[in-house]
Amino acid sequence: MTPEEIGAIYRERNGTSVIQLGDAMLACRRELGISQQEMARRAHITPGTCHHHESVSLSTMRGDVESGKLAFKEARALADVGFHHGRNFQPDERLPEIVALFTSGRLSSVYVEAIVRAAKQNPAAQVDELVKIAFANVKKVPASWQPPKAHAKPAVSTKDLQAHILALAGEIEAWGMGEHSEVERLPVLAAARVLDDRLHRLALGATTANGHAEASKGVGNRRLALLLEEPRKVLAGQEGLAI
């Protein structure tokens, strides 16, 4: 099998397992006598991809990955646990016991990187010590901490809301009958536009739910619309002011 064919299999993912793919990469490289970098270049994959597949294939985790006890993402991280002597890599003797932490369900996969880091930094530590070291660096939540309570949305009575809107409409109408300067009118008009927008959205949502969206056009408070469209009254002494 050529590097190009292996690259095509990797991209198509046609049922070939990661172990079979790693075996094919190893066999191809040994037959052609090429490096992982050359293999990756010819297969149009990254050197890291080649390294991960081959390292898992060469490890004692082959059966765990094939059976689904260990995810490939976990296995490729655990496969790097060991010692580097020049260009040669010597697997860590603790690896089978470390792998058992995750295949047995003792630890979740989220702690893989923490265990690997602890194993590399403490080559003489026992596996139980590695677990303690890994958990010592995990952020802990104080025992007294309580999750914040979700604030319940205040219940709004339909009748109270209706009475409030009607009362507000009366106040707006009464206020609009008087003469007010531009400085006084602008804040009220801005607030009125916000209320008008909310009312139009409410009306549109109700009519859309009934399948009559077209009927919502023009729905609104007539008094409010007249107030918004009413031209500004110029008071005495303000004729020269710019609008």
pTM for this model (two decimals): 0.53
Selected residue with higher pLDDT from 202 and 47: 47
Q: What is the mean pLDDT of residues 205-232?
A: 53
What separation in angstroms does the CA of 225 have from each of 138, 189, 199, 222, 230? 60, 11, 11, 5, 8
For the chain, the residue count is 243
42 closest CA partner among 7, 18, 16: 7
pLDDT of 206 higher than 80: no
Quickly state the pLDDT bin for 83 (edges 50, 70, 90): low
Q: What is the mean pLDDT of residues 222-232?
A: 55
55 closest CA partner among 9, 87, 23: 23
* Whether the Cβ atoms of residue 76 and residue 56 lie closer than 8 Å to each other: yes
pLDDT of residue 215: 43
pLDDT of residue 229: 55
Quickly state the pLDDT bin for 188 (edges 50, 70, 90): confident
pLDDT of residue 143: 67
For 142-177, write each residue's pLDDT tens digit: 667 677 777 777 788 888 888 888 888 888 888 888
CA angle at residue 121 from 117 to 127, to 5 degrees? Answer: 75
Question: Which of 79-93, 108-122, 221-235 is predicted least confidently?
Answer: 221-235
CB within 8 A of 180, min separation 6: which ones?
A: 188
pLDDT of residue 243: 47
CB within 8 A of 199, min separation 6: which ones?
A: 220, 221, 224
